[in-house]
Structure formats: structure tokens, C-alpha cells
Structure 1
């Protein structure tokens, strides 16, 4: 399993188990890799992931940034910001257990934004997490 897939799985599992996230996105939380047709609002989709090699001291290390998108239909930017904040609170400095021979050295929330889309009925929130992932020998 790739470091990026292991991190994504662990982060989504961690966020989906958080009471604050569940209160806003349902139980189980509406977090999707791809938006299903007719998804109930609000929900989160997994966005872009960017990685760079950061090897050092003979260890394979990857710096990875993963973006999550929040979609809100009726609560506007305020609701989008509330959901982004719940995910930031749950995920920032989270101790994540990764599978596939990887460990998460750290996980931090590094960016957040909320805005209206071209469809003025929908607000869009964005949160980005940065992680340092190390291969376990």
C-alpha cells in the first residue's frame, strides 16, 4: 500500500470516529472518495493529494498534503466553516496508525477556506492536512 493511501485511510477513519464530525456529517459521516449521485448535504469529498520525497538518514520519508472539500447546501459559509473547524480540531496533531508498513510522524492542519460556489446555493469549504510519513522497516 502506498504511503498516501495509508495516510488517507487513517485520516478519514480518524475523522469519521470523532463525535464533533459525526454531529455535523451524520453517523456514519458522509465522507466520500467520489461524490455519489444524490448525496445528502452536507458532505465531504477527498480532494487532491500532493507528495514529495523527504528521505533522510537512510529512511524512506514522504511529505504528503491531502485536501478535503466540504459541500454545504443550506447552511452557507458559516456551516462550511463549522465543519472545517471540526475536522481541523479532530485531525490536527492526531496520532494516526497507518497500515501497509508506514507510520505517521506528524499530521497537521495547514490551510482552511470557505466560500460560495458559482451556484450561490452551495458553500464550499476546504481543509488541507500536511503529514510526514516514514516507511517502517
Structure 2
């Protein structure tokens, strides 16, 4: 079996980092719930992968990739604070993070932004976390 793509390797590293934290688990309803798409019938609070991209960032012969990943934390109507608390905890977990990744190494990782918004139609509150990273193929 081959190593996963750098995008999937970083996602797996983020999931491992988040899943090991009981504080984040408590904010997300008892365990870390990070889904690819909204889970049918699952009440908030939970997190979703949003847009993700990697771009070639080769330097001096090193095979590197620049990543951007967005994670949304979905909260119950009227409770944007629960989404912001979980997003802030995720950001804190990524500060100075050293994560082992399959097939590559983490060069840099930072949280670029945390944003909050409310859906006018549903009242759903969400906080979005923008994560940037650079990885290098081993």
C-alpha cells in the first residue's frame, strides 16, 4: 500500500491531533466529530472539512506542497459561542504542533483565521478555521 497524498496525510495528522484532546472532545459533544459532509440526523456541535487544496511548492529539488484547509464547526442555532470555543481550541492545539505524517514531514503549520457567521435562513451558527501548512515528501 502506498503512502497517502500529502493532503490526506495532513488531514490524518490533524484528526489525530484533535482526537487526542479531551477538552476538544467535550466541546464537540463528548468525542471529536470531524466529518467530510454534514451527518444526517446528528445534532451539533460537530466539525466539517470544507475546502482543501494543495499546490506545488518545490524548493531546491525538495518535493514540497503548500496546503490550505478549511474546517467549519457547526453549532446549534443561537449558540455561535460553542462553535467559536471549539474553533479556538483547535487553533490552540495547532500552535507549535509537531505532527508525524505518513510519507511526508510537516515544515510549517499555522491558523490563518477564525471566522464566525450565522445562516440567516436556518439560524445555524458556524465558526470557520483556516489552516495553512507546508509539507515535504520524505
With structure 1 as the length reference, what TM-score do the two structures score? 0.91
Change beyond 3 A, Cα 1:119–1:73: farther
**What are the residue-to-residue correspondences of 1:1-137 with 2, within 5 Å?**
1-74=4-77, 76-99=79-102, 101-136=103-138
RMSD: 1.4
Runs (4 or more) in structure 1 with deviation over 6 Å come to none
| Contact 2:80–2:127, Cα closer than 8 Å, also in 1 | yes
Q: What is the rounded CA distance, in whole Å, between the counterparts of 1:75 and 1:15 in structure 2?
A: 25
Number of matched pairs: 135
Mark the runs of 5 or more structure 2 residues left unpaired by the alignment: none
Q: What is the rounded CA distance, in whole Å, between the counterparts of 1:86 and 1:119 in structure 2?
A: 28
Cα drift, residue 121 of structure 1: 2.8
Mark the runs of 5 or more structure 1 residues left unpaired by the alignment: none
